[in-house]
Homo-oligomer: A and B are copies of this chain.
Amino acid sequence: MSLVVVGSVAYDGLETPHGKVDRILGGSCTYISLAASFFTRVKLVAVVGDDFAEADAGFLSSRGIDLEGLDRVPGKTFFWSGVYSPDMNDRTTLVTELNVFADFKPQLPESYRTEPYLLLGNIQPALQRSVRSQMNGVRYVGGDTMNYWIGDYRDDLLSTIRQWDFLLINDSEARMLAGEHNLRRAADKIQRMGPQTLVIKRGEYGAILFHGGQHFIVPGFLLEDVFDPTGAGDCFAGGFMGYLAQQGVHPQHGEIDHQVLRRAVIYGSVMGSFCCEKFGPDRFRTLDHSEIDDRYREFKAFTNF
């Protein structure tokens, strides 16, 4: 049983107060897949150009990620570059070259279509819906979106998330989607739009889970050094969904245990925190399961009273 992940695979140019890289593997699908790969088998769906390096494909494969759904087409891979502010709370985009990603029309390989878990990275809502419709018998589906789709593609987005079990967005996006500043009331409204489970990401302040009339709040991990925050939200999504897939959640067989969702939020937070410790997705080259277990225990230790 695998998790299908759809989104962008890209190259990023990054500059933070800790340094600069001109070109490093990036994209939502990359971060989600790498983070999830520590919990479950991942099948990736994305498009890259003929400049995509074998070493990068090799890195993904080394994490057991299935690349049958990685479409390689003539042209250049999606490229983005940006510079972070000194406190890393803001970033300025320098370059966005969609390249082959502009014509991304995800087609799932036959072997992907019967998998039970689907995580839709932040792409156009109509594409997310198209992927959902290619899956037969999916048990649990959810994804991410962003302010651009909420503002300019609202109807499209609403008919997309209506089919989702969970939605993962940040706090300003949740407020925008609900048209409501108070997060508790915003969450009520969003849950009525479809997703029974809502996770609101708050960056360095952690995350809130809303599910079944309850909520759970976890603070962010206090890193000694935030090296590069790129991809942390996607790694949260990957850890969250990867853990649920590992646990074999199956809502059609009755309500999901709220405690399992809480633990999924912690694993999401754990993976997001590791992501920030090196440039791009480099931390996942060396991360091992004992480090994940240790950090989970640290979350217990600094929140328990």
> A299: which B residues are within 8 A, CB to CB?
305
This chain: how many copies in the complex?
2
Return the CB mask of A81-108 against B: 1 if under 8 Å, else 0. Answer: 0000011000000000000000000000
Residue from the set A218, A219, A301 with the largest chain B CB neighbour count within 10 Å: A219
B216, A302: Cβ atoms closer than 8 Å: yes
**Is B303 in contact with A185, judged by CB distance below 8 angstroms?**
no
A72 in the interface (beta carbon within 8 A): no
Question: Which chain B residue has the least Cβ–Cβ distance from A206?
Answer: B219
Per the CB 8 Å criterion, the residue count for chain A at the interface is 35
- Cα A214 to Cα B303 in complex, Å, equals 11
Give chain A interface residues in 236-279, CB to chain B under 8 Å: 259, 262-263, 265-266
Determine the distance from Cα of A224 to Cα of B186 in the docked complex, in whole angstroms.
10
Contact yes or no, B263 A305, CB < 8 A = yes
Task: Compute how far the CA of A301 lies from the CA of B282 in the bound complex, rounded to whole angstroms.
Answer: 36
A217 near B305 with CB under 8 A, answer: no
Q: Which residues of B are found within 8 Å of A215, using beta-carbon distances?
A: 222, 302
Other-chain contact of A217, B202, B214, B224, B303 (Cβ < 8 Å): B303
> How far apart sit A226 and B181, CA to CA, in the bound complex (Å)?
11
A5 contacts B by Cβ under 8 Å: no
CA distance A6 to B118 in the complex (A): 58
Find chain B residues with CB under 8 A from A44 CB.
none
The 0/1 profile, CB within 8 Å of B marked 1, for residues 205-243 of chain A is: 110100000111111101111100000000000000000
Q: Is A183 an interface residue (CB 8 A)?
A: yes
The answer to whether the Cβ of A182 comes within 8 Å of any Cβ in the partner chain is: yes
Let me know if A283 is at the binding interface, CB within 8 A.
no
